[in-house]
Amino acid sequence: MKPYLTGHYTPHVDEITAHELTVEGLLPPELSGRLIRNGHNPKPGVTPTHWFKGSGMVHGIRLRDGRAEWYRNRWVRTPALDGAPYMTETGPDLTASTAGTHVIEHAGRLLALCESNLPFELTPELETVGAYDFDGKLTNVMTAHPKHDPVTGELHFFSSSPFPPYLTYHVSSEKGDLIHSAEVPGATASLKHDFAVTERYVVFVEGTVTFDHTETSGIPYAWKDEHPARIGVMPRGQGGAAAIRWFDIEPGSMLHAANAYEDELGRIVLEGPTVDREGFRTSWNWWVGAPERGAVPNSRSFNRQWIVDLGSGTVSERVVDDLVVEFPTINEDRAGRSHRYQYAISFPDDRGIGNFGIVKYDRTTGERQVRHVGDGQLPSEAVFVPAEGGTGEDDGYLLTVVSDLHADASSLLVLDATDVLAGPVATVHLPRRVVAGIHGSWVPDHS
């Protein structure tokens, strides 16, 4: 049995809706909205060749007035869900998507994302509307990790391809209009899963993982020692693509950026977990179900920091911490600006020893808090929600769904982001075990 079809990853075979969930503690009144998570959940009888090839399923929890009104799970109903191929006689079908990586809200639209296809729009109740192409203006794919600018309201994203044009940059206005698109010169077929945006720059990362047509899993990428790792820094706005500069960095692969910003010296600081060759090998083997796989899907993933000095044309980099982490998050009001606090999910070691946990970093003091969950339990990506009237960067809540294999159940934990070691502010008991997923978003009612 493939590892991504067992344990925490055992797919659901149906869709359900449950109302008036049991709540322990008191849900803060500002938690009025929906926590929505996305992940891969192939239909019964389907065994994908790679975890990422499984069809997308969204899980939603509706909170309002101190109540947990509903939970529901729904497949994203794309052509691929019913077996439609990506490649057709006339070329790729950009609607044949798993739509299983992320889900965001922008300009009133809820979008399920997969980086190799168009986004899919969902209703507030998680029913599928259909593929969304920004009124015909988006003619290529959309990354699963777009970036909201908290000041302008713009949505920045990119299209990456193993064939020219390798990289195209896009901007959508706060109202949802696609207002800017530009091909980025100098890019390669390197895997580009995430990126970052500062106040004045767009930051791309090309790692040592690149296109490989011989890869048989259906995800045509592999580690190539000869492929250089680089950071690309591009000015924002019209004409910025032509001025991009590329800087060599140490070999590695970064899947997720925590944040990037410009420091007081005008340098660009970028942070995110990265893996080395061995870490990529063991995690990739897990995703494809190879016999020589690691015990957990991510291993040797350590938080790294790069500082790009545009004046001198140099890059310094260092491993920030020795804890194996992934799924970094921050208070999104600090996106593109200097942040003090950063959150992540910690993993057992590459032998599977230890428990998962929710991590809080204080980048000023260097303090690290780790809230370990119990044996057989798996937390989801910790989503930060600001507290009403909060004045500090960490005044708010972390929302994480913790699934328990022993109890075959899941709960939504609401944690105080100022102290993740404290007891939960509230716990919402869900009607079923939520399948291990990837990314999600808090969608407040006022958005």
Binding-site residues for Fe cation sit at: 145, 193, 256, 439
CA distance 314 to 316: 7
Question: Which residues make Cβ contacts (< 8 Å) with residue 285, sequence separation at least 6?
Answer: 292, 293, 294
Amino acid at 417: A
- By the 10 Å C-beta count (0-12 exposed, 13-18 middle, 19+ buried), 89 is classed as exposed
CA distance 145 to 255: 10
- Secondary structure, 3-state, the chain: CCHHHCHHHCCCCCCCEEEEECEEECCCCCCCEEEEEEEECCCCCCCCCCHHHCCEEEEEEEEECCEEEEEEEEECCCHHHHCCCCEECCEECCCCCCCCCEEEEECCEEEEECCCCCCEEECCCCCEEEECCCCCCCCCCCCCCCEECCCCCCEEEEEECCCCCCEEEEEECCCCCEEEEEECCCCCCECCCCEEECCCEEEEEECCEEECCCCCCCCCEEECCCCCEEEEEEECCCCCHHHCEEEEECCCEECCCCEEEECCCCCEEEEEEEECHHHHHHHHHHHHCCCCCCCCCCCCEEEEEEEEECCCCEEEEEEEEEEEEEEEECCHHHCCCCCCEEEEEECCCCCCCCCCEEEEEECCCCCEEEEECCCCEEECCCEEEECCCCCCCCCEEEEEEEEECCCCEEEEEEEECCCCCCCCCEEEECCCCCCCCCCEEEEECCC
